[in-house]
Amino acid sequence: MSSVFGKSSLRDFYFFWAYGPKIKNKGGQMKEKLKVFFYNYRHGWILSYFVIYLMWFTYLEQTVTRRFHVVHMAVDDLIPFVEIFIVPYLLWFGYVALAMLYFFFKNVPDFYKLCIFLIVGMTIFLIASTVYPNGHYLRPRVFERDNIFITLVKGLYMVDTPTNLFPSIHVYNSIGVHLAVMHSEQLKDKRWLRRGSFVLMISIVASTMFLKQHSVFDVITGCITALVMYTLVYARDWQTNRKRSYQRRYREI
């Protein structure tokens, strides 16, 4: 028999006879684990929106380059360029991503609220930029200093055009993340985190103006949009919690 099949064939046959069921069993366990994982985190379907957003935003960045409505307010000229604000501006990406990951794994209802808040505002931004192409000429033409922050700003200017501005997504999403943190039951005792979130939110909002990425008009429209969405997404919860607190105090009296 060995002359027909060879020693290697017999060795392979023995291996699969002895260990095949175990391998199959492990494969079955892995398959079950994957099923459980996808079932437990099926709420991740909503993240597919960001694929649509990136495609739409990329299209706008490539098409809205010269012919656009100039966004400008007199107060814009009074705000100096301060390159160090590139730090909170870049931290925005981690700020939003970490918040979404936290609520994705820790609290599904809060995750949905945050996603709805972000998605509605980002869609309003895309529609506004499509219907009313806009941009500005606020960026400095010459940098008076040369340091690491200036280098980062130059890199930012290279990849991000001064178009498609309002409502500012940096402003809007930062407010949305902070609201999610403040309304989280799991984070209500993390005062240092809530305060840190507030400081970072304010820093990011300020950075959009000090880096000449946005006009004050973009910041105002971002805040107004966030306020409207707050009343739709979070205000009802605040009113409910206030009513429960009042009822609790009434019973104690």
Mind giving me the DSSP string for 52-89? Answer: HHHHHHHHHHHH-SSS-EEP--GGGGGSPP-GGGHHHH
List, for residues 41-77, the tens digit of each pLDDT value.
Answer: 888 899 999 999 999 999 999 998 888 999 999 999 9
Please tell me the distance from the alpha carbon of residue 118 to that of residue 218, in angstroms, as a whole number.
16
With a CB cutoff of 8 Å and minimum separation 6, the contacts of 218 are: 71, 165, 166, 167, 168, 171, 208
Same domain, yes or no, for 51 and 70? yes
Q: Where are the beta strands (DSSP E) in the chain?
A: 69-70, 134-135
Same domain, yes or no, for 142 and 31? no
Confidence (pLDDT) at 4: 44
pLDDT at 18 exceeding the cut of 60: no
Same domain, yes or no, for 50 and 145? yes
41, 106 in Cβ contact below 8 A? no
State how far the alpha carbon of 244 is from the alpha carbons of 46, 61, 235, 253, in Å: 31, 48, 14, 14
Same domain, yes or no, for 149 and 185? yes
Instruction: Report DSSP state, residue 43.
Output: G
Same domain, yes or no, for 49 and 21? no
Q: Which residue in 169, 162, 153 sits closest to 218, CA to CA?
A: 169
- For the chain, the domain total comes to 2
Same domain, yes or no, for 114 and 235? yes
The band of 252, judged by pLDDT with boundaries at 50, 70 and 90, is very low
Cα end-to-end span (Å), the chain? 92
pLDDT at 249 exceeding the cut of 60: no
Same domain, yes or no, for 3 and 119? no
Same domain, yes or no, for 16 and 49? no
Q: How many CB atoms lie within 10 A of CB 65?
A: 13
With a CB cutoff of 8 Å and minimum separation 6, the contacts of 79 are: 209, 210, 216
With a CB cutoff of 8 Å and minimum separation 6, the contacts of 179 are: 117, 226, 230, 233, 234
Same domain, yes or no, for 20 and 101? no
Same domain, yes or no, for 11 and 78? no
List, for residues 179-211, the tens digit of each pLDDT value.
Answer: 999 999 999 999 999 999 999 999 999 999 999
pLDDT at 155 exceeding the cut of 50: yes
The band of 79, judged by pLDDT with boundaries at 50, 70 and 90, is very high
Q: In which domain, by residue range, is 76 found? A: 44-252
Same domain, yes or no, for 120 and 81? yes
Same domain, yes or no, for 179 and 127? yes
